[in-house]
Structure 1
Amino acid sequence: MELIRGLHNLRDKHRGCVATIGNFDGVHLGHQKVLQQVKQKAAEMGLPSVVIIFEPQPREFFAGSDAPPRLTRFDEKVRLLRDQGIDRVLCLTFNARLRSMSAQAFVDELLLNGLHVRHFVVGDDFRFGCDRTGDYAMLEATGAAHDFSVENTHTYLINEQRVSSTLVRETLMRGDFELAEQLLGRPYRVTGRVQHGNKLGRQLGVPTANVRMHRFRCPLQGVYTVRARFCGHDLEAICNVGVRPTINGRLPVLEVHLFDWDQDLYGQLMQVEFLHFLRPEKRFDGLDALKTQIFSDIETARLWFADSTGQNSLAEVN
């Protein structure tokens, strides 16, 4: 799959495609339904499939830190789109220029001159351009005049609810990882490289792998049982996502304590799969109280894994 960063990097070879546009945060089953439409039409027309995304996402540009937390980091999103079999991803920088671009200029620069779109898959509630003046009807009229067709996206329902990034986010925040997996089509995971931290966990006798999050705000906060995957290893673990209020932390971090592991992990790419919510993050009266709680959390997590494994084994026997 080819990643194209910005309109200025479009070349003649990129002209002529079947495209769709959106945030695609999480690349959940609703998104995957849209991607299937795009790929099917692209195959019929003998053209490449293209997904247009934004960085930052528009709501992040307008709302800053008040925007909803992302389900996936940019690199994870691109990897998930690649895994869906998309040929190209065009990432547009959402800035003041793009925000002030008129709907007609958006169509001219992006769809006509930039990509020379032959078929465009988009929701009938899609709005674009300055003050959201562009709509589905405008796209249909433009397509009729410039020889490209427009197709409405298909809605995907689970339990009579429309699958959306908002629904996935709310489900995760409730700690319902089983439903989240149904909505995503996979377990919820966060991936990042292990970086150096303040070594506080090691001082407390509980060394942790600090997974780098950059500007990513995870929709989860608290203590969880997780599975950590890296370099062929698949280990039971416990993690904390939050700002670490006991030590007056400010930026959210993801700290993972691996059971029965004591080797160096710095620089390793780690995938953290969330399984079960244990408790919310809270401030403790000093490091001794924090240490006591951490060891209690570890014992609770080990018991959860033991019960979970036992249930799975019993199911297999029956």
Structure 2
Amino acid sequence: MKPTPSIYRHLPRHDTRRPSAVTIGNFDGVHLGHRAILSCLRAAAAEHSLCPTVMTFSPHPRAFFARRAQRPELIPTQISSLRDKVALLAGEGIEQIALVRFNQAFAELSPETFISRLLVDGLNTRWLLVGEDFRFGNKRAGDIALLRQAGERYGFSVQTIADVTDSHERRISSTDVRTALAVGELERARALLGAPFRISGHVIHGRKLGRTIGFPTLNLRVPDPCAARSGIYVVRVHGLADEPLAGVASLGVRPTVADGGALLLETHLLDRSLDAYGKLASVEFLRYLRDEEKFPDLPTLTAAIASDVRGARDYFAIHGL
């Protein structure tokens, strides 16, 4: 396991002046396109003895502008929680994450202030990697030419990278991942991400209804708004035992037992019972089984869950863990 990166919510950094190799983006999902960028960053950092660093934002800039315009339907769904994003970035060898708060003051930063405050004073940037169409600063006034001019003045080089495409020459993007997850196309999402989609979190207490009907569950909070389609899934659970555990999970608001409930991931482990409250679990989504439904009564709900469990057993009988 790679060490957890240092996370800075305020710049300049308080504990180091180590020079950095930096890339900037939202990195939601850390898909194969992101991984190609991070691989390039990591190689440059090693070559120049720099600290591989990602600057990312919370909330997503599109979410900020959508809320400001009172257009909640334009808020992008989240592929990864912050915890999962950090873990994925750590897995790619990133040692520093600058988690910048995207608010009105940040949106109004001039391009020159963005460069001097964040890149130069904030991270001691010596090498910068951005997309060919990268824009920044108030009203997106900053561009690559301005970055290169600033680099000559402050002593950092600027590299650009073209869009990363799949085997069919289609651009790999977080939007593509969101689209696949929204319709339950887990194989497509996996091909874009390079790994199964997953949600991680600490197991929390729920209503404990599952244990009364013979299907106890592990409950996890999920990113809001979550990119994955609500419904029933075959899943694999990591972190609670030495080996992965087979399960079936419900992602949704539990319409049969709660009105207006919060979105929750409830996972029933197959042939395994354990006390997991407070433990960190990672749930990988393997197959979409069906939509979430509101049943007329608990016996009908129980029968549906039993059918879902049979579907999960059939999956693991064919594919294994």
Residue type at the aligned position of 2:268:
H
1:20 aligns with 2:23: yes
For 1:186, the equivalent position in structure 2 comes to 195
**Deviating 4+ runs (over 4 angstroms):** none
Within a 5 Å distance, the mapping from 1:71-220 to structure 2 comes to 71-158=79-166, 159-213=168-222, 215=224, 217-220=226-229
3-state SS, counterpart of residue 155 of structure 1: coil
TM-aligned CA distance change 1:101 to 1:178, over 3 Å: same
Following the alignment from structure 1 to structure 2, what is the Cα–Cα distance between the partners of residues 214 and 301? 24
For the 8 Å contact 1:15–1:114, the answer to whether it is kept is no
- Cα distance in 2 between the residues matched to 1:271 and 1:218: 16
For 1:208 and 1:47, locate their aligned partners in 2 and report how far apart those are by CA, in whole Å: 45
The residue type paired with residue 47 of structure 1 is: L
The correspondence for 1:237, drawn from 225, 247, 263, is: 247
Which amino acid is 1:198 matched to? R
The alpha-carbon distance between structure 1 residues 231 and 104, as it changes in their structure 2 partners (threshold 3 A), is same
Contact 1:30/1:163, CA 8 A, preserved across alignment: yes
AA of the residue aligned to 1:266: Y
Distance 1:8 1:145 in 2: 21
TM superposition shift of 1:93: 1.4
Query: 1:184: how far off?
Result: 1.3
What is the CA distance between 1:17 and its match in structure 2?
1.6
* CA gap 1:223/1:3 in 2 versus in 1, 3 angstroms: same
Q: Distance in 1 between matches of 2:22 and 2:270?
A: 45
Cα 1:150–1:214 shift into 2, 3 Å = closer
**Cα drift, residue 198 of structure 1:** 0.6
* Higher deviation after alignment, 6-15 or 130-139: 6-15
Name which of structure 1's ranges 67-76 and 55-64 shifts more when overlaid on structure 2. Answer: 55-64
Where does residue 315 of structure 1 map in the other structure?
A: none
- Deviation string, structure 1 residues 156-199 (Cα, Å, up to 9, x no partner): 21122111111112122333322322221222111111111011
Contact 1:199–1:207 under 8 Å retained in 2: yes
* Inter-partner Cα distance in structure 2 for 1:227 and 1:4: 29
Q: CA 1:2–1:175 in 2, change beyond 3 Å: closer, same or farther?
A: closer
User: What are the superposed Cα offsets for residues 39-76 of structure 1, whole Å, 9 maximum, x if unpaired?
Assistant: 12122222211111112222222335542221111011
Letter in structure 2 aligned against 1:118: R
Q: Which residue of 2 aligns with 1:41?
A: 44
C-alpha separation between the residues in 2 aligned to 1:82 and 1:308? 29
Code of the aligned partner of 1:185: G
Give distance in 2, aligned partners of 1:138 and 1:68. 29
State how many pairs are aligned.
Answer: 310
Tell me the C-alpha RMSD between the 2 structures: 2.0
- Alpha-carbon distance, 1:15 to partner: 4.8
Note if 1:293 corresponds to 2:304.
Answer: yes
2:196 aligned counterpart, secondary structure: coil
Q: Any unmatched runs of 5+ in structure 2? A: none
* Percent pairwise identity: 41
How much does 1:88 deviate?
A: 1.3
Alignment match, 1:274 = 285
The whole-number CA distance in structure 2 between the counterparts of 1:303 and 1:257 is: 15
Cα pair 2:178 2:227 within 8 Å, conserved: no
Q: Identify which range, 215-224 or 265-274, moves more after superposition.
A: 215-224
Q: Is the 8 A contact 1:50 1:87 kept in 2?
A: yes
The structure with the greater share of residues assigned to helix is: 1
